[in-house]
Amino acid sequence: MVFHYIPSRRTHDHADASPRKPGILLLNLGTPEDTDYRSVRRYLSEFLSDRRVIEASPVVWKPILQGVVLTVRPGKSGKAYKRIWDKETNESPLRRYTRDQAEALARRFEADNVPVVWAMRYGTPSVAQGLKTLLEQGCDRILAVPLYPQYSATTTATANDQFFRALMRLRNQPAIRTLPAFADHPTYIKALADSVRDTISKQTEAPQMVVASFHGLPKAYINKGDSYLTDCIRTMTALREELGMTEDMLPMTFQSRFGPAKWLEPATASFIEELPARGIKNIAVITPGFITDCIETLDEIGNEVCEEFIAKGGEQFTLIPCLNDSPACITLLEELTRQELQGWL
Ligand SMILES: C=CC1=C(C)c2cc3[nH]c(cc4nc(cc5[nH]c(cc1n2)c(C)c5CCC(=O)O)C(CCC(=O)O)=C4C)c(C)c3C=C
Ligand SMILES: [Fe+2]
Ligand SMILES: [Fe+2]
């Protein structure tokens, strides 16, 4: 997309005269507009053409993507999106919760006159559109907030890349900041721990194990220096400490393997399917790598993995919801953003 936006107000030449107006831009991954083949294909095509996500040479990857992947996957993923589609608002849960988060956070910043908008790295509303909206509201300082608790080049960095791309097209750029990952931020860990405690307290029999499933990543990316695994371990160490649970009671697994390469292990699906044979038939699953529910949590874990667990002799499977637009999540986002806005408010 070509984005030519030149704000009419000069922002930096007369620093003393210019009013300071920060704005917040929440960035999430992106999601299809609808569940039909073409909509899912369009989304997957943009997502899987990102070289931060698929590092293979385009000469090798493009024919595979345009051939088998974009022929087969949109149909399969479309069916999965259909199962979790939000019928009330006719959109995917990822989009609904991201918008809800932005609106709730905006209410927390109303008195500060700081607008909050949201955008998707892939698809719509685009990052360029989000930036434009903030500039039109007179923002001369923008905090970009990738909504990922753990850093990865495949998520955090590519969201920021897209923001910087939009900035490249401006004559007068606002000042910018980007929110760092918050893998073991105490408020985040407390909110996760409370969601585990809340789930356990509602059950007649406490789960024998709480499995923490993170989105996976190719091992090669970690070996090349992506700090994602370190961040996942940070989250787990802090969460186990907060809950007083051992690695056996709260193990870490990785879901969503894509393609033939080696991904982080243990894989969530095979780990959970083997539990009934070990006598573990009542489990809960938490997904601390996602702050909004999405196809990965609701369908891959909540439907597919759950069905396999029951088929293998499991008796009770509880998926702990992501923080979504809960007051705890909005408080977390407010704390993180207020800290990052220091000196700008
Ligand atoms: C090589 C492929 C992929 C990498 C690497 C990857 C990393 C990664 N992704 C997330 C978060 C999300 N991924 C989501 C969906 C999704 N992810 C991939 C592939 C890779 N992800 C695909 C093909 C899809 C689409 C769904 C499907 O067809 O299976 C989502 C949900 C989007 C939604 O609309 O609900 C999220 C969120 C992280 C955190 C991550 C690396 C750490
Ligand atoms: Fe993904
Ligand atoms: Fe997946």
What CATH code would you report for 22-180+327-340? Answer: 3.40.50.1400
* φ, ψ (nearest 5 deg) of residue 145: -125, 90
Domain ranges of the chain: 22-180+327-340, 186-319
The yes/no answer to whether this complex scores an ipTM above 0.95 is: yes
Alpha carbon of 296 to ligand 3 centroid (Å) = 5
Per-residue pLDDT of the chain (345 residues; tens, 9 = 90+): 555 555 444 444 444 556 789 999 999 999 999 999 999 999 999 999 999 999 999 999 999 999 999 999 999 999 999 999 999 999 999 999 999 999 999 999 999 999 999 999 999 999 999 999 999 999 999 999 999 999 999 999 999 999 999 999 999 999 999 999 999 999 999 999 999 999 999 999 999 999 999 999 999 999 999 999 999 999 999 999 999 999 999 999 999 999 999 999 999 999 999 999 999 999 999 999 999 999 999 999 999 999 999 999 999 999 999 999 999 999 999 999 999 999 999
Ligand 1 atom 34: residue of nearest CA: 31
The closest alpha carbon to 82, from 29, 119, 32, belongs to 32
Three-state secondary structure call for residue 315: coil
Residue 27: enclosing H or E segment and its boundaries?
Answer: strand 22-30
Cβ atoms < 10 Å from Cβ of 201: 8
Q: What is the pTM of this model?
A: 0.94
- What the block records as the tokens of 11 is 């922002």
Q: Does domain 186-319 have CATH number 1.10.150.530?
A: no
Alpha carbon of 214 to ligand 1 centroid (Å) = 11
- d(CA 152, CA 144) in angstroms, rounded, equals 16
The ligand 1 atom at the shortest distance from the C-alpha of residue 221 is 5
- What the block records as the tokens of 200 is 């356990």
Ligand 1 contacts (CB < 6 A) are: 29, 31, 44, 53-54, 73, 77, 92, 94, 148, 152, 154-155, 215, 217, 228, 256, 258, 289-290, 294-296
- What the block records as the tokens of 303 is 């439907």
Residue 253: enclosing H or E segment and its boundaries?
Answer: strand 252-255
User: Across the strands, what pairs with 286?
Assistant: 212
Same fold, 22-180+327-340 and 186-319: yes
